[in-house]
Amino acid sequence: MLQSVGNIVKISDLRKKILWTLLIIFVYRIGTHIPLPGVDARALGEFFNQLRGTVFGLYDIFVGGALSRAAVFGVGIMPYISASIVIQLLTTAWPYLERLQKEGEHGRRKINQYTRYLTIVIAAIQAFGVSIFLQRLTSPSGAPVVPHPGLGFIFLTVVALSAGSIFLMWLGEQITDFGIGNGISIIIFAGTLDSVPNEFMNTIRLLKSGGISPITLLFVAVVMLLVTAAVVAVTEAQRRIPIQYAKRVVGRRVYGGQSSYLPLTVNTAGVIPIIFAQALLMFPNTITTFVTAPWAQSFTQWFKPGNLVYDLLYAALIIFFAYYYTAVVMNPKDLADNLQRYSGFIPGVRPGPKTAEYIDTIMTRILLPGAVFFALIAILPWYLIKWTNIPFYFGGTRLLIIVGVALEIMQKIEAQLIMRQYEGLLKKGRLRGWRF
């Protein structure tokens, strides 16, 4: 392992890619600390301490704390991710986009262009909403978050936040083109690690003051290790369907006749189902934050993480979105058509509709245990905090992002090492990852 890490430094091209990626991350971290004009950051910080468990607290994780600091990257890269998801969903319902998707490189460029245009629109809308939201806020001590509200503040905020989101999209593309790994995934990965140093220091302080016993901390560390290993195993899990290619004679050459397999992953949708489920369930809790009526307080208790009703709905939504998003991005009919086009078939299964039906049955079966597992991982953090009084959030969206992106980066590095006839990072097994 150490020798493999040393080989990374020896490869000039790989070394440049890693340094370039680190430089982009450094620029991103600087942007999350550049404040918006006209915002009282201290008053905003006091207010955000009350928003844990709401959609704003969730969003702040993905933007690296930039929203709670009212930074120019406060909208983050999420508009681009939202635009990408919308375009992916539209390709199944809009024949024009479906045709573009099948046109190869030209179609891919046009779809990327439409995604960028939609990103600008979504970023502007979200920036406008953030500017209105900030103007209405006051800290618990009564200080206004925006001392001088008005059209000037709204205009500057919309321009700054929209420009910041577009700049982040460009930074992600720079990592994808010249760095290592998928740029958008790495930016989110860097953002989710923003609060880790403070959480680590808070844990040490609680341990010294007696707030957490050493036995409890050891138990939590063991649970974290086992859960992380389980997430890696499930993320890497595949159901391999054997594929046989028929022999074809073209001139004097014989093509085909080889055996391969079709890998179907347990976690095809990645972290998307948890994001959708969290946003949907936390939206009512966020709305009731601005309502002082007694019924709103009761409603908030029902939709609070750790409540049985909330947890059951949360798990059900994660399972539903896992099936829904997988059905959108992975069409069994297209897989069956591609196999038939290249003279491939599944032994014992007729080509065409029967193959599509067989693949759909396998996907339906393997998705259920994976979706249930990730639903449990998503619910785990609240019970860990409740039972052990740990001052950090472990599991859920953050853990899946960290594991998925780390596996993808290791996969890219290993591919570069093997391509240049070096030994990979791991002597046994192969790495697989996913991207947003």
- Supply the DSSP string of 103-169, one letter for each residue: STHHHHHHHHHHHHHHHHHHHHHHHHHHHHHHHT-B-TTS-BSSSS-SHHHHHHHHHHHHHHHHHHH
Q: What is the pTM of this model?
A: 0.74
Same domain, 179 and 227: no
Say which CATH number the domain at 235 has.
Answer: 1.10.3370.10
Q: Are residue 138 and residue 230 in the same domain, yes or no?
A: no
Claim to verify: residue 162 and residue 234 sit in the same structural domain:
no
**Do 25 and 67 have their domain in common?**
yes
Task: Say if 402 falls within a structural domain.
Answer: no
In a domain, 271, yes or no: yes
Are residues 244 and 175 part of one domain?
no
Residues 6+ away with beta carbon under 8 Å from 411: 431, 432, 433
- Which range of residues forms the domain containing residue 225? 220-391
Q: Strands, DSSP E only, in 159-281?
A: 238-245, 248-250, 253-255, 259-265
- Evaluate whether residue 435 is within a structural domain: no
- Whether 29 and 125 share a structural domain: yes
Query: Would you give the DSSP letter of residue 307?
Result: S
Establish if 212 belongs to a structural domain: no
How many folded domains does the chain comprise? 2
- In this structure, the answer to whether residues 226 and 187 fall within a common structural domain is no
Digit-by-digit pLDDT tens for the chain (436 residues) are: 555 566 667 777 788 888 898 999 999 888 888 888 888 777 776 676 665 545 555 566 666 666 677 788 888 888 888 888 788 778 777 888 878 877 777 888 888 888 889 999 988 988 888 888 788 777 777 778 788 888 888 898 899 989 998 999 899 889 888 888 788 888 888 887 777 777 788 788 888 887 788 888 888 888 888 888 888 888 888 888 888 877 666 666 666 567 778 888 887 777 778 777 776 776 666 566 556 666 666 666 676 776 778 888 888 888 888 888 888 777 788 888 888 777 778 888 888 888 888 888 888 888 888 888 888 888 887 777 777 777 666 767 778 778 878 887 887 777 777 776 655 555 555 555 544 5
- Structural domain contains residue 236: yes
- List 250's β-bridge partners, or say none: 253
